[in-house]
Amino acid sequence: MREHTQRSSRLTRREFLAGTAALGAAAGLAGPAAAQGRQGELVAGLSERMLTLDPGNHYSISATSVLRHVYDPLVDVTNDSKFVPALAESWQAVNNTTWRFTLRQGVKFHDGSPFTADSVVYSLKRVRDNSKLIKAFVYQDIEDVRKEGDYTVTVHSKKPFGSLPAHLTMLGMLPPGAAANEDEFFKKPVGTGPFRFANWTHGDHIVLTANPGYWKPGIPKVEKVTFRFIPELSTRVSALRAGELHVIDRVWPDMVQTLKASPGVRVLDTPAIEAQRWIFQLAKEPVKDPRVRKAISLAIDRNVIIKDLLLGYARPVVSPIPPGLVGHTNLGQKAYDPEKARQLLKQAGLQNVTIDFVMMKDLYPKQLEMAQAVAAMLGEVGIKVNIKNLEIATAREQRSAGTYDMFFSGWAHMPHDPDWYLGQWFTKAGAEKLTRYNDPKVEGLIAEGRVPDPKVRQQKYEEIQRILWEDEPEIWPYYSVAIYGISDKLKGFEARRDYYVLLSDVGF
């Protein structure tokens, strides 16, 4: 980790005054004038670069944040993981393989064309049929999307698809006219969202302007939103303190006090719907032996990581699915017992065990320090750890190739539903180029948990987690906390558990 990236020098009085002026200019008019209409420009600094304007071709948190302002989904999700109407006014599970959506009337795309069932049919069939789209795999079980009049759509699936409403929160609806030339459409896209696309400098920033005809009254609150893509935390922090940005995401715990001491800045945090996870390569010695995995788990003092490295900005894990999501249950914290770890290694007949711990460089807060702490803890029970801090692409190549023992990862449940996580990591097909996990019983329970009935889903997911908790195919060290820095001039900003930066309801 580059320690110098986390330090911010104190601003001089001249810099502070200049920054305050810049913030005032960006904010536009405040007070009574602002109440009469939209005023000013909001500028957000995001940690991850957005690479596409196609809502069907990414699983990026930053792209989801930005594109949610341009395109509306059928279903929205609140910060406490409740699914609420967006372009669909209501929906119901007709049976285990059929969903019916009743659509909002009177909504127009930015080009003036009406939003109808044709948009839904096109958007869903497109993401199902175009295998080049990153989201295509999620929708493969859709058998048909049928229009029943202009404002009703029925979705039929080959197998139960209980998580469909959750996945639809991440899929913006497109005008059917886009089909004529999708390449051209995505150069200047139109949606039904609160903001219209203005321009995009790839990798640097995107500018959006208010949609005056948005279907939600009083939304948006500002005339213009600019998202800047700034991976370097120190740069985001400096720009926020100087008044060049109004919002930054992914603040690290050791930057919180610096920001709290900065004039004009507030820090917001909320428990994220993310479990940090360190996955094992289950086809590889020595970690294919469950006794070795259990010994590694017992040798890690998670409370030290949470308290000393994350400064309390994390929570102990009590089940793989975080609180607030269907399936969450309390299985109790994992024990710290180095003596028992030594006994397990002895039972396994292992001495001088060595494992490779691979990580994606600079991706997670304090990850190198955490890996070093874990190496010291495991060293105490006789396990040597080779830390391999690799560039992200290289690390992912090693993960696909299976040339690792433990891999430093995480999982933000962006759809606010665990089905994607379970299907990706704990089915044979999903885990084939990841962990090589393969348990037919768990695979069967995942399939049974895909029915729309939330009670059945809760029961099946609890059963899956009890198996995982015992088998330990991965280490769950902590639940993350999402930390944001914002200008104290902002009104209405919500610190999201899914890391989204949503600005439609935000003003000055």
Cis, bond preceding 220 (omega within 30 deg of 0): yes
Q: Which residue has the tokens 């969450």?
A: 328
Q: Which CATH number fits domain 75-179: 1.10.8.50, 3.90.76.10, 3.90.79.10, 3.40.50.1980?
A: 3.90.76.10
Q: Residue range 55-84: average pLDDT?
A: 97
Does residue 172 contact residue 106 with C-beta atoms inside 8 Å?
Answer: no
pLDDT of residue 363: 85
Q: Which CATH number fits domain 274-480: 3.10.129.10, 3.40.309.10, 1.10.3470.10, 3.10.105.10?
A: 3.10.105.10
- Residue 63's pLDDT band, with cuts at 50, 70 and 90, is very high
Model-wide pTM > 0.85: yes
Contacts of residue 424, defined as CB under 8 A and 6 or more positions apart, other chains included, come to 430, 431, 434
Query: How many residues appear in the chain?
Result: 508
Spatial separation of the C-alpha atoms in residues 294 and 345, rounded to whole Å: 9
- Topology alike, domains 75-179 and 274-480: no
- Residue 352's pLDDT band, with cuts at 50, 70 and 90, is confident
Q: Between 290-299 and 367-379, two packed helices, what is the crossing angle to 10 degrees?
A: 110
- Topology of domain 3-68+193-246, CATH: D-Maltodextrin-Binding Protein; domain 2 (3.40.190)
Question: Does 30 score more than 50 pLDDT?
Answer: no
φ, ψ of residue 96 in degrees (nearest 5): -65, -20
pLDDT of residue 243: 97
Spatial separation of the C-alpha atoms in residues 449 and 444, rounded to whole Å: 9
Does residue 296 contact residue 378 with C-beta atoms inside 8 Å?
Answer: yes
DSSP secondary structure, 348-384, as one string: TT--SEEEEEEEETT-STTHHHHHHHHHHHHHTTTEE
From the list 255, 219, 273, the residue with the least C-alpha distance to 417 is 273
How do the domains of the chain map onto residue ranges? Answer: 3-68+193-246, 75-179, 274-480
pLDDT tens profile 395-450: 999 999 999 999 999 999 999 999 999 999 999 999 999 999 999 999 999 999 99
What integer best gives the mean pLDDT of the chain?
A: 92
